[in-house]
Amino acid sequence: MNNNSFLDYYNIQDLNTAIHEALLSVMPQWLAILLEGLAVGLLIIVLYAVLAIILIYMERKVCARFQCRIGPNRVGGKGGLLQVPADVLKILTKEIISLKGSDRFLYNLAPFLVILASIFTFSCLPWNKGAEILRMNIGIFFVLAASSIGVLGILLAGWSSNSKYTIIGAVRSGAMIISYELSIGLTVLTMVLLSGTMDIQNIVMSQDRMWNIFRGHLPAVAAFIVYLIAGNAEANRGPFDLAEAEQELTAGYHTEYSGMHFGFFYLAEYLNLFITSGIAVTLFLGGWMPLHFPGLDGFNAVMDYIPGVIWFVSKTFLVVFLLMWIRWTFPRLRIDQVLTLEWKYLMPLSLLILLIMTVCVVFGITL
């Protein structure tokens, strides 16, 4: 049996319990839960905004490197660190315009639906042991369901803007996201099969000995690749960014949005990138689990002292970098090619992977 004591080094479950009990001692239970809920909500929003700023800064710097440029380097001293916060301040001061002939209610609702879907899924990410925000026994299923709300926002945004560019962008996005959810669902199922649970924390816990991508060897690696392609499409990023293909549709479904309403779409796009990577890390790369090699006990022990949250965030940013690399290298696909890729290649492939994984698990051919 493995020595799993390291799991408790940075467990903050005890801290949570202590805070809860301290609050209960001075106030009734409903007030305590309300206060905790507010605090957690605030935490999510702050974390969400901060991560978005980091991601945007990272994207600008990474893409600049790919493009033989320097990227932002003026605002905020060396490296342009304050460029993105300055942009955020600017966008907050911009007017939110209303359009002639638009469906006012749906037009205003759409960005909130997109950001809501994004925050729901964001809340499910396992940051550390005991540091999950939403935990339920069908956690990964909830992530899939909640992320589907986003496409509703995109469709509504495109339709309610009363513009031809936006409707084309929205329909493209709708067709693409609904298609690629199949592949995502199937690859997630493959990993659920391997881990034997749908609870996100338990999926991570099941990888304490070895990450799923190693444990499931061939089918898991194939599933990882399929997941990355489909996840990239879900996040509407290049080479699948045809919903907002600026060279064709100016800005696709959010062409007519301004100010912070546009900001929400922008924010959600970057956070969806983070979430896609976060789920990939959770399913395939062990979530907050440290890197372990069987046999190398000394190495493993050192790895155990690195807190889980650092593991999770650094692994996620690694996958984010991978996705940025893809985005800044490939040209864009065409809508029929996108759908052909999914329905003719990725979907049958993920079904096959699922089948192979089932056989592997049933006959115990996993590492």
Partner 1 sequence: MTVIEKIQKICPEAQVSTSGDTIVTVPSDSLAAVAEALRNDDQEPMDYLRDIVGMDWSEGLGALYYLESSKTYGRVVLKTVARDRDEAWLPSVCHWWRTAEIKEREIYDFFGIRFIGNPDMRRIFLREDWKGYPLRKDYDMDSNPLNMENEENADDTVEYYLKPDGTVEGHRNILFDQKDFVVNIGPQHPSTHGVLRMRTSLDGETISRIDPILGYIHRGIEKMNESLTYPQTLALTDRLDYLSAHQNRHALCMCIEQAMGLEVSRRVQYIRTIMDELQRIDSHLLFYSCLVMDMGGLTPFFYGFREREMILDIFEETTGGRLIQNYNVIGGVQADIHPTFQQKVKEFIKHLRSVIQDYHNIFTGNVIATTRLKGVGILTREQAISLGATGGTGRAAGWANDVRKHHPYALYGEVDFKEVLYTEGDSFARYMVRMDEIMESCHIIEQLIDNIPEGETRLKTKPIIKLPEGNFSASVETSRGEFGVMLESHGDKTPYRLHYRSTGLPLVHAMDTACRGNKIADLIAIGGTMDFVIPDIDR
Interacting residues toward partner 1 by CB under 8 A: 63, 66-69, 164-165, 168, 172, 238-239, 241-242, 245-250, 328-337
Closest by CA to 186, choosing from 361, 340, 338, 354, is: 354
Pick 172 or 315: Cβ nearer partner 1: 172
Q: Closest distance between partner 1 and the C-beta of residue 98, in Å? A: 22
Q: Closest distance between partner 1 and the C-beta of residue 324, in Å? A: 11
Q: Closest distance between partner 1 and the C-beta of residue 355, in Å? A: 27
Q: Closest distance between partner 1 and the C-beta of residue 82, in Å? A: 24
CB atoms within 10 A of CB 245: 21
Burial of 92 (0-12, 13-18, 19+ CB in 10 A): exposed
Pick 25 or 336: Cβ nearer partner 1: 336
Query: Which residues fall within 8 angstroms of residue 243, CB to CB, at 6 or more apart?
Result: 154, 169, 170, 172, 173, 176, 236, 252, 253
Q: Closest distance between partner 1 and the C-beta of residue 78, in Å? A: 23
187 alpha-carbon distance from chain centroid: 15
244, 252 Cβ separation under 8 angstroms = yes
First to last CA, the chain: 15
DSSP 297-355: HHHHHHHHTS-HHHHHHHHHHHHHHHHHHHHTTSPPPPHHHHHHIIIIIIHHHHHHHHH
Q: Closest distance between partner 1 and the C-beta of residue 341, in Å? A: 10
Whole-angstrom Cα Rg for the chain: 22
- Provide the sign of the torsion angle of the four alpha carbons 69, 72, 74, 80, taken in this order: negative
Q: In angstroms, rounded to a whole number, what is the distance separating the alpha carbons of residues 244 and 61?
A: 22
Pick 11 or 250: Cβ nearer partner 1: 250
Pick 76 or 239: Cβ nearer partner 1: 239
Pick 109 or 175: Cβ nearer partner 1: 175
**C-alpha torsion 224→230→235→236, nearest 10:** 140
Amino acid identity of residue 280, one-letter, is A
Q: Closest distance between partner 1 and the C-beta of residue 123, in Å? A: 32
Pick 234 or 241: Cβ nearer partner 1: 241
Q: What is the DSSP letter of 21?
A: H
Pick 93 or 247: Cβ nearer partner 1: 247
| Token duo for residue 284 | 């395939």
Q: Closest distance between partner 1 and the C-beta of residue 276, in Å? A: 19
Pick 305 or 343: Cβ nearer partner 1: 343
| Token duo for residue 309 | 């949250």
| Token duo for residue 215 | 């444990």
Pick 168 or 356: Cβ nearer partner 1: 168
Q: Closest distance between partner 1 and the C-beta of residue 162, in Å? A: 14
Q: Closest distance between partner 1 and the C-beta of residue 67, in Å? A: 4
Pick 63 or 193: Cβ nearer partner 1: 63
Q: In angstroms, rounded to a whole number, what is the distance separating the alpha carbons of residues 51 and 112?
A: 18
